[in-house]
């Protein structure tokens, strides 16, 4: 079994039962979510043995997060329970002011995860791992998180693991294009597998993939494998001078949060398991499609049986249309 290790902030998500402005919402569902954790749990559900590094508050919400990770089979040996700082919370606002689009409001300043640092890293966490995962959110949280992420990447490489990095830009954290580039450049340099999308590239460069690849080459060698997520436009991969493309699946959109993480996780799990680039892209698209059709980031993440069922029904529908 392949093994993966992730790092990042996990939060409590408060998702209203109805659509519309938050000021009119009175009922909320409590979920657990965080970009890297979503991806790691997706990988765990697809047969990769996963562990996670983060800090949570020594509070009730921290207990919920630990329970969620453990219930999914994710190793929590590297999760710190912080006695001084709280677990972060964020609120979701769906379909307002733009229909079918989601906005988020974070309450994460001074969180336990933002106080995570390199002093918590142990060499044993990296023994036998095949892949280390982090995203652009983590180094944007604080200087200590950035230092921890860089050290973790170096430790992973020392142990012979691949490094996967999703640019995953959060404008509220990074503020400007210049700061985004400065903060994320070391991670782009070190990535073996780089996930990104048009929105992130428009912040880092000019939004055009080909021009952006040239810009990244000027900084350093581009990752061995670049996965370019296009939302409803599907997903592409660039490796070895070749370009692979896979269209998306049309599904009703309930909550697009977590879809990109599901895409990352399904691609990485497939790729680590020896599947082809084309197969990995197909399964990534399916995971994203299933995730956007339901509320919550973790709950919709599919296992292999769900992916196969989705594909069987989709392909049967396509055959019926062709008759």
Q: Which residues are catalytic?
A: 261
Closest CA to 264 of 78, 71, 133, 129: 133
């Amino acid at each position: 079994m392949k093994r993966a290790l992730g790092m990042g902030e996990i939060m409590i998500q408060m998702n209203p039962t109805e659509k519309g402005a938050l000021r009119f919402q009175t009922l909320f569902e409590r979920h657990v979510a965080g970009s890297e954790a979503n991806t790691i749990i997706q990988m765990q559900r697809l047969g990769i043995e996963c562990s996670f590094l983060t800090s949570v508050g020594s509070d009730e919400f921290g207990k919920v997060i630990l329970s969620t990770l453990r219930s999914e089979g994710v190793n929590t040996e590297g999760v710190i329970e912080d006695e001084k700082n709280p677990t972060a919370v964020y609120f979701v606002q769906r379909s307002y002011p733009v229909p079918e689009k989601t906005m988020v409001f974070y309450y994460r300043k001074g969180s336990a995860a933002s106080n995570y640092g390199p002093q918590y890293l142990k060499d044993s966490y990296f023994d036998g791992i095949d892949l280390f995962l982090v995203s652009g959110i983590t180094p944007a949280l604080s200087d200590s998180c950035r230092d921890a992420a860089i050290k973790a990447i170096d430790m992973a490489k020392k142990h012979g693991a691949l490094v996967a990095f999703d640019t995953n830009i959060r404008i509220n954290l990074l503020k400007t294009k210049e700061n985004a580039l400065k903060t994320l450049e070391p991670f782009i340099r070190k990535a073996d597998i780089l996930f990104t999308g048009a929105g992130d590239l428009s912040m880092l460069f000019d939004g055009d993939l080909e021009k952006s690849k040239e810009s990244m080459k000027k900084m350093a060698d581009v990752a061995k494998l670049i996965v370019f997520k296009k939302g409803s436009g599907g997903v592409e991969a660039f490796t070895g001078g070749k370009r692979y493309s896979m269209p998306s699946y049309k599904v009703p959109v309930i909550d697009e949060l977590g879809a990109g993480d599901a895409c990352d996780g399904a691609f990485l799990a497939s790729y680590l398991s020896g599947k082809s680039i084309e197969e990995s892209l197909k399964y990534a698209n399916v995971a994203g499609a299933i995730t956007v059709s339901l509320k919550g980031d973790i709950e919709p993440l599919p296992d292999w049986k769900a992916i196969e069922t989705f594909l069987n029904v989709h392909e049967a529908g396509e055959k019926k249309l062709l008759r």
